[in-house]
A and B are shown apart, each in its own frame.
Chain A
Amino acid sequence: MRTGRTWRAPVAHRSNSLHPGAWWTWALGLAAAASRTTNPLLLALLVGVAGYVVAARRTEAPWARSYGAFVKLGLAVVGIRLFFAVALGSPIPGTHVLVTLPQVPLPAWAQGVRIGGRVTAEGLLFALYDGLRLATLLICVGAANALASPSRLLKSLPGALYEAGVAVVVAMTFAPNLVADVRRLRAARRLRGRPDRGLRGLLQVGLPVLEGALERSVALAAAMDARGYGRTAQVPPAVRRATAALTLGGLVGMCAGTYGLLAASGAGYGLPVLLAGVVAALAGLWLGGRRTVRTRYRPDVWGVRAWLVAASGAAAAAVVIVGAARDPAALQPSVVPPVAPALPVWPAAGVLLGLLPAIVAPVPEPTAGRESEEGLSA
């Protein structure tokens, strides 16, 4: 390779790491694309694109491991959807009967509910497509979770929301700690000669686990207070009142505006009221931010690479949405009668745009992270 200018993505470090907002824009773009189609080929392509980018660009941080959990959740959703289609029947009219289950006779008042009965190929196919779409949405969210640090995203919130953001981060660390506690205490039950497996074992450690979690929360709250969490600047009472009025007024305006837009009759006043509400709420947030003295350490910068990543997601969404408008049949393959889905060329090409982050986003450095030894947790 020639020395000098190279277009390959640099190794990620703190100051060039991608803005978490860019990852979320990209992932939500893919999710929006997925919500517009039930074509299994296109959905598989979306899952592949998200999976490839995650494989290429995720770090070894704890949150990056959540991707696997989201994939499993997606598969579970497909399974549950199919199960319901089999057990409760499906409203889709079908002629290809695969199997007829014994039907549970239900009283007259439960009309419309069916348990058991005919299982048709059409019904199953519809459920499969529907489940796949939901699973793809979940996997896209999982990709964003794995790629963008949740706490860094919260750092980008406006100052007035920061303290709420910290509370959310702390709440998020609560769950993994709880899991570790449950494991440790179940292992400890074995030391007392009690069964360490099974539901009963789990239930009996419940109280000590909650006690431990509560103690930890109190200790953390004390530590945060001692480190200056919640210090506020003096603001004149007039500003405080203005903040409250603007925020409340803004929220009411936004509600009214949204109602106006959605209701059949009020289309005329809907948009202006909504806009005024948004402006008032933003002003309220900005004024509220003056009360906090916080500053931000090395906030993430939204650079060229962030634009590219966000744009690739948005482009994928746009192409699929336009495709759905132009050729609905290709994106919603017919299930009655069932036909083999074909891969529509232009939407597929659009989805492939979503691979751009795997090229432009900075490459995480492989670290030989050592897990620390923690008590008895296996």
Chain B
Amino acid sequence: MIRFEDVCVTYQDAEGRPTLNGIELTVPEGELMLLAGPSGVGKSTLLAAVSGLVPHFTGGTLTGRVTVAGRDTRTHRPRELADVVGTVGQDPLAHFVTDTVEDELAYGMESLGLPATVMRRRVEETLDLLGLAALRDRPIATLSGGQRQRVAIGSVLTPHPRVLVLDEPTSALDPAAAEEVLSVLQRLVHDLGTTVLMAEHRLERVIQYADRVALLPGAGQPLVVGSPAEVMAMSPVYPPVVGLGRLAGWSPLPLTVRDARRAAADLRDRLGDKRRGAVSTSGSAAARDQPRRSRTRRRREAPEPVSVPPLAETDNLAVRRGRREAVRRISTTFRPGEVVALMGRNGAGKSTLLATLVGTLRPHTGTVTVGGAAPHRLSPRDALRKVGLVPQDPRDLLCADTVGAECTAADRDAAAPSGTCRALLAALLPGIADDTHPRDLSEGQRLTLVLAIVLTAAPPLLLLDEPTRGLDYAAKARLVTVLRDLADRGHAIVMATHDVELAAELTHRVVILADGEIVADGPTPEIVTASPSFAPQVAKVLAPQQWLTVSQVREALA
């Protein structure tokens, strides 16, 4: 269905270095193929080459041949492939042409000139297939993230393309919304025989659905194609369940929690013998026979709750956005050295709470205190020294055209000695040249740059909004090290995240928000193991023992 024959793609500004080199790939009809690899190796370029957007739209030189359903993308422009390829990019909002759900579903078919009766029937079918019937008249601007992603998929499905190309369909979604989207893909592959090619960083979510995996191990390197288990055995990027499998030496490598559980009986026994496993869940009857504190928890030790005064405090806080109460009745504290994860659905009020803590939004009722002052009353200059926020899109904070200028500006803003920001950046992530344009950095590098800028003013309270969106596993591991180090030096860190693996790895405390209210607040192990949608894979595999991450298990076995 899709064939790449010796494909090289070179962009003009890449100084002759090809982004893709010698790609040979055949995706047969009806297959769901997952494209994996670290960030910045050309996954998006490969996907865009299928729909013809590379090179027709992006420029650059493509050598070799890409054919889709027998049509050569060299001679067919993207619009002439629109009836065989449906493409959904990383940001569904950039994809919408019309303003309501039903019109959006019909748009592609209108362009192809399908008869009115056919269009009507397919829109109804697609509304049912994707569970969008209740939303049909809604303006797209009012939809949640998961709903938007489903509408975007639906809008390319209605012309009945034979190939569906998806770039990171679940990265921005909460776990439940991601399940929603993936179950739709599953139905497409099974019921309609659609060929799916998709790239995704969050392998733990998608690997089990893939028929085969194509791995791009590095920029310009050839593809490795094979069954998921084969490829995962040698991949530089892998989900925690595979990490556990590699550690325990299971063969064949399990890809799902279910397979891993079946193989894990032995490992559970070994860990049980070590009697180190369980992290205390004081008060829970199931864990009463477990040792109360474990050695593995040493590094995650939360600071003593009584002795230190809290850095930030909210009391009965309510914040409105327009007429909607985005958060209400929030009473919580954040202490120095503590790492807290805010979790919950898209739109549950996580970003609102962070914006209130940093002073961008003001409380409607109740109080918020950061470092002894109300943040919305502080001047931006004073607020900077008390609290820093890394926003969802780090690009918002960048305005200079080189990394060096950005660092100088940060020193000036924070009235820090010159060179502070640059030194921080070098410590966090060496090897970023001063004259690089911030837009040319990878997602992970850009995040680190913004983190360095925010830390220049040394705020005791550090807030991060979805820091791992678009990060590969390596960048994520680096971020974890950096944040852990900051917490050890007494910063309080609060992050809104959908990434349960990150929460399990890094945080002391998890606060779950639903509909603007706190529904759960407690030590990470207790909270994440209590609910299946927030439990990390390792916890699911090794339950009822409370291990959260592969590194804990590795330490225990060592």
A-to-B contact residues, CB < 8 Å: 13-14, 61-62, 149, 151, 166, 169-170, 173, 184-185, 187-196, 204-205, 207-208, 216, 219-231, 233, 292-298, 367, 369-373, 375-376, 378
Contact = CB atoms under 8 A, between A and B. Distances in A.
Nearest to B347: A373
Contact of A373 (B102, B155, B349, B383): B349
Interface residues of B, number: 86
B123 A297 contact: yes
B82 A191 contact: no
Contacts of A225: 53, 56-57, 77-79
B444 interface: no
Give 4 nearest A-B pairs by CB, closest first: A228-B82, A193-B384, A228-B111, A293-B113
B106 A191 contact: no
B413 A193 contact: yes
B451 to A, nearest CB: 12
Contact of B360 (A190, A194, A231, A292): A190
Given A149-B99, A192-B413, A194-B413, A297 B142 contact: no
Nearest to A375: B392
Interface in B135-173: 136-139, 141-145, 155-156, 159
B120 A298 contact: yes
A221 B58 CA distance: 11
Contacts of B111: 227-231, 293-294
Contacts of A169: 97-98
Contact of A293 (B95, B107, B112, B399): B112
A352 B114 CA distance: 45
Nearest to B348: A373
A297 B116 contact: yes
A378 to B, nearest CB: 5
B143 A372 contact: yes
Given A151-B99, A375-B351, A189 B112 contact: no
24 contacts: A62-B141, A151-B103, A191-B391, A192-B409, A193-B414, A194-B381, A194-B413, A196-B380, A205-B399, A208-B398, A222-B89, A223-B94, A231-B80, A231-B112, A293-B113, A297-B116, A298-B120, A367-B137, A370-B144, A372-B346, A373-B352, A375-B351, A375-B396, A376-B355
B517 interface: no
A68 to B, nearest CB: 13
Interface string B104-123: 00111111111110011001
Interface of B: 51-53, 56-58, 77-83, 85, 87, 89, 91, 94-95, 97-100, 102-103, 106-116, 119-120, 123, 136-139, 141-145, 155-156, 159, 321-322, 324, 326, 346-347, 349, 351-352, 355, 358-361, 379-381, 383-384, 388-389, 391-393, 396-399, 409-410, 413-414, 453-454, 457
Given A216-B94, A293-B112, A294-B111, A188 B347 contact: no
A191 B110 CA distance: 45
Contacts of B383: 190, 193
A234 B373 CA distance: 70
A13 to B, nearest CB: 7
Contacts of A184: 396
A367 B143 CA distance: 13
Contact of A61 (B113, B139, B398, B410): B139
Contacts of A233: 113
A194 B120 CA distance: 53
A226 B454 contact: no
